Structure 1
Amino acid sequence: MASARQKIESPCTDVCKIDPDTRLCLGCARSIDEISAWSRMTAEARRVIMAELPHRAAQLKHQR
């Protein structure tokens, strides 16, 4: 039986701290705008962002 609401894949790691320089979350590397709009985005838009996150996370790690 399919649920009325499908679970939306999220990169959230429950480390919700925003880097003041990049304005990206240190846990998932998304911007505040992306985080707040995540559940309203299309699956394709989320996939595009998910593909960018490893690069963003590497940049965040390098800046620390």
Structure 2
Amino acid sequence: MAVKSPCIDVCAFDGKTKMCVGCFRTLEEIRGWKKMTDHRRHQVINDRSRRQAKLQHEPSELPPD
């Protein structure tokens, strides 16, 4: 069974880390998701908490709303 995408439809990228603030993937990972092996998808998903912590500890460069 294919690993489901972690996308939550909050597609905004942090300017410093280059990660989506919704799913914590890079643009390259998002673009390549359908071609990734399930093993690689699990790696990306399992790295979510580390990526989220990194994003929260670094000041964001997103423009104000």
TM-score normalised over the length of structure 1: 0.82
The answer to which structure, 1 or 2, has the higher relative contact order (CA under 8 A, 6+ apart) is 2
**Corresponding pairs, count:** 59
Q: Distance in 1 between matches of 2:6 and 2:57?
A: 20
Which ranges in structure 2 are unaligned for 5 or more consecutive residues? 60-65
Between the aligned residues of both structures, percent identity stands at: 37
| Partner residue in 1 for 2:16 | 21
Point out the structure with max Rg over C-alpha. 1
Select which of 57, 60, 65 maps to 1:62.
57
Letter in 2 for 1:22: T
Deviating beyond 4 angstroms after TM superposition, the runs of 4 or more aligned structure 1 residues are: none
Which ranges in structure 1 are unaligned for 5 or more consecutive residues? 1-5
TM-score normalised over the length of structure 2: 0.81
RMSD: 1.4
